[in-house]
């Protein structure tokens, strides 16, 4: 059965109705799931197994039957561990129906059907009693309900309900407890993800500085955590201002209260500086004694860098203080963590008197300037990148005249400001600012001559950047917008950027390949059924598509040189025919070809270009440096992700790439050559 789905095409800008299989959403959710990543997390799996064995042993040691409740069972892995450890029976709860069906099959294949009951419900809907889902209350509670922020997936209300209705008082819990840690830092790079910095515009011998309204400067931003691979941020990018402090802990073996609350810790800065950012992570004790510990601590906190387990399902948290605040070494300051059921936010206070103590719970910050609602964190970083801005300034200086009539097509762009400061006569912007900058709140195809005061545009500019873009080539919407406004452009119009190139490069990932790699067996349990389910959903569509990822967080090695595979000329309108290209790239380094990375490079002028992907191949080994403000497109080669791959490594990769101008989509295929 087919269904019609409406969507806004990010490249063409049109609204389309597409005929999709009725199971499209189901396949997409499975294909993009993190189940394989979790099962490849050896540290997580081993620690859970150790904790489960210890919990079952303690219950058996008291002469009791071990009855397990496993909330969020996924593949059923933790329940199978429990039965293997000696549990008498397990109730395994999984709300996601496709995963619950797979768990039933996996449990059966591994021979545990008689001791594990999979319940396809949310845990808050589970009943206990002779006619209920569970015959009796459990005395061991096992869960894996955590995200990078610990509580973002609803762990607290789930635990609260389980202790009230599903488990015995004084039950064993795996994990037994969790602790959330915080560290105060100063970081220009991280602060640039949250606030706009002044922009320096060097025009001839005169430097001008663009500053932003106080509403933006004083805005507390948005409360949502920025979860990143903090292990990829070099120590030179931040200054540690405090020791690590424990902000709060949760004992999962006792009744949990999910109500909003706050926790305050006394900090004594170890260095003077500007307090801007809170770095945070958590760990869990799998047993009451704390001997079995699983930690998300970043590299500078761990004893040696070899102790850092790579994982993508749990990372580290970056929180921005509402405003930066100077702190002095040795002075007392108070850091408060506020939380509701699903999120955490922070506030720093210099002193704490009686009045401060009465100021108990503070609600989450709300953006009042709109900028934090328009731009995400990487976009803030991009706008604050002075080197990138300088490239646009240099390009604009070469194309602008005193009487230039500019039209800017980009979302939330600062290019009109730069053009204004560089002396353009009038700037029209399809979205702010000043007498000479007019905002036209229309789609490009609806633009009229009167909107432009009957003037012809002499310079069309764009970064291009559009908030609807996910993949690098989605910003080709600029080409479609340029075509839509063609009637309003002068005969000799200058277009900036004048063209764009699509580049590709074959890479070997250090760890990132794990998110798409089959698991096979996990701690001795056969999970091939899950592998097949994910592979089937990937083959439904996703295995033939590239997916967006910020590769600065995921180290990789280039196996080929970067290669230009397609070019788009913005001085012309959208082509009528499909653009096709094919060829091959030679592999210059030994390694496993996990996939191809693709990105766009915008040629602002003949000799000034801005890359959204590769910044440089940093050394002879092929280690790459990527644009930290953009997501690159990754096309995984399925053959290279199998646990057992051929010993003969390919010598080249062939490719075929097609751009369909009607849909704006780029289709691609790759093949290895021995």
List residues with catalytic annotation.
Answer: 144, 153
Question: Does residue 198 come out as left (phi exceeding 0), alpha (psi in the -120 to 50 range) or beta?
Answer: beta
Instruction: Let me know: does 442 contact 602? Beta carbons within 8 Å.
Output: no
Q: Mapping DSSP to helix (H, G, I), strand (E, B) and coil, where does residue 344 land?
A: strand
Measuring CA to CA, which residue among 31, 91, 255, 275 is closest to residue 164?
Answer: 255
Return the SS3 of 439. strand
Q: Within 13 Å, how many C-alpha atoms sit on residue 524's CB side?
A: 8
The answer to whether 225 and 318 have CB atoms below 8 angstroms apart is yes
CA distance 482 to 117: 59
Q: What is the DSSP letter of 627?
A: -
Please state the three-class secondary structure of 16-66 as a single string. EEEEEECCHHHHHHHHCCCHHHHHCCHHHHHHHHHHHHHHHHHHHHCCCCC
Rounded Cα–Cα distance for residues 561 and 556 (Å) = 13
CB 399 within 8 A of CB 496: yes
Cis-peptide, bond into residue 175, ω within 30° of zero: yes
Are 560 and 508 within 8 A, CB to CB?
A: no
Q: Could you list the beta-strand ranges (E) of 514-555.
A: 521-522, 525-526, 547-549
Q: Across the beta sheet with 405-408, what order do the strands follow?
A: 437-439, 426-429, 405-408, 457-461, 489-496
């Amino acid at each position: 059965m087919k269904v019609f789905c409406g969507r806004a095409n990010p490249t063409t800008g049109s609204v389309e109705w597409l005929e999709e299989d009725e199971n499209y959403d189901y396949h997409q959710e499975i294909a993009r799931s993190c189940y394989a990543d979790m099962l490849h997390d050896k540290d997580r799996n081993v620690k859970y197994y150790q904790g489960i064995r210890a919990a079952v042993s303690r219950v058996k040691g008291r002469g009791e039957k071990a009855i397990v409740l496993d909330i969020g069972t996924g593949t059923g892995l933790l329940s199978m561990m429990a039965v293997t450890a000696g549990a008498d029976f397990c109730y395994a709860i999984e709300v996601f129906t496709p995963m619950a069906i797979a768990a039933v099959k996996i449990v059966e294949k591994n021979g545990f059907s008689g001791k594990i009951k999979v319940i396809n419900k949310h845990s808050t809907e589970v009943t206990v009693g002779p006619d209920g889902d569970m015959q009796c209350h459990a005395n061991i509670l096992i869960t894996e309900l955590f995200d990078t922020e610990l509580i973002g997936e609803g762990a607290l209300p789930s635990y609260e309900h389980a202790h009230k209705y599903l488990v015995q008082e004084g039950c064993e819990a795996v994990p037994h407890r969790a602790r959330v840690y915080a560290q105060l830092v100063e970081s220009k790079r991280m602060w640039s993800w949250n606030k706009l910095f002044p922009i320096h515009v060097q025009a001839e011998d005169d430097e001008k500085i663009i500053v932003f309204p106080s509403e933006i400067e004083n805005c507390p931003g948005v409360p949502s955590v920025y979860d990143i691979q903090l292990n990829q941020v070099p120590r030179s990018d931040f200054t540690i201002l405090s020791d690590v402090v424990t902000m709060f802990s949760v004992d999962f073996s006792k009744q949990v209260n999910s109500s909003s609350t706050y926790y305050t810790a006394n900090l004594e800065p170890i260095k003077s500086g500007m307090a801007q950012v809170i770095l945070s992570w958590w760990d869990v004790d799998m047993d009451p004694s704390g001997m079995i510990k699983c930690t998300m601590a970043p590299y500078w906190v761990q004893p040696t860098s070899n102790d850092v387990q790579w994982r993508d399902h749990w990372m580290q948290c970056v929180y921005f203080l509402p405003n930066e605040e100077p702190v002095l070494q040795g002075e007392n300051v108070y850091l408060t963590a506020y939380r509701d059921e699903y999120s955490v936010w922070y506030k720093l206070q210099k002193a704490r008197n009686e009045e401060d103590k009465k100021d108990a719970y503070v609600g989450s910050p709300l953006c009042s300037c709109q900028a934090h609602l328009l731009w995400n964190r990487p976009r803030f970083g991009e706008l604050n990148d002075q080197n990138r801005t300088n490239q646009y300034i240099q390009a604009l200086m070469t194309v602008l005249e005193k009487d230039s009539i500019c039209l800017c097509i980009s979302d939330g762009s600062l290019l009109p400001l730069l053009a204004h400061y560089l002396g353009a006569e009038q700037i029209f912007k399809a979205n702010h600012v000043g007498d000479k900058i007019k905002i036209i709140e229309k789609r490009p195809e609806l633009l009229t001559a009167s909107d432009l005061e009957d003037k012809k545009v002499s310079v069309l500019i764009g970064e291009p950047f559009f908030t609807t873009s996910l993949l690098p080539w989605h910003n080709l919407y600029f080409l479609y917008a340029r075509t839509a406004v063609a009637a309003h452009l002068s005969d000799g119009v200058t277009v900036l950027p004048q063209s764009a190139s699509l580049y590709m490069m074959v890479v070997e990932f250090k760890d990132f390949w794990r998110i798409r790699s089959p698991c096979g067996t996990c701690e001795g349990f056969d999970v091939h059924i899950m592998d097949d389910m994910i592979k089937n959903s990937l083959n439904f569509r996703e295995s033939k598509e590239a997916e967006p990822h910020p590769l600065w967080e995921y180290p990789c090695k280039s196996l080929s040189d970067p290669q230009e595979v397609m070019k788009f000329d913005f001085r012309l309108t959208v082509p009528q025919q499909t653009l096709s290209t094919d060829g091959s790239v030679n592999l210059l380094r030994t390694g496993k070809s996990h996939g191809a990375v693709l990105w766009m490079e915008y040629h602002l002028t003949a000799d000034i270009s801005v890359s959204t992907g590769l910044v440089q191949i940093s050394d002879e080994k092929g280690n790459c440096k990527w644009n930290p403000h953009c997501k690159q497109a990754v096309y995984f080669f399925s053959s290279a992700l199998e646990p057992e791959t051929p010993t003969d490594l390919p010598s080249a990769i062939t490719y075929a790439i097609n751009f369909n101008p009607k849909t704006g989509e780029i289709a691609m295929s790759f093949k290895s050559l021995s």
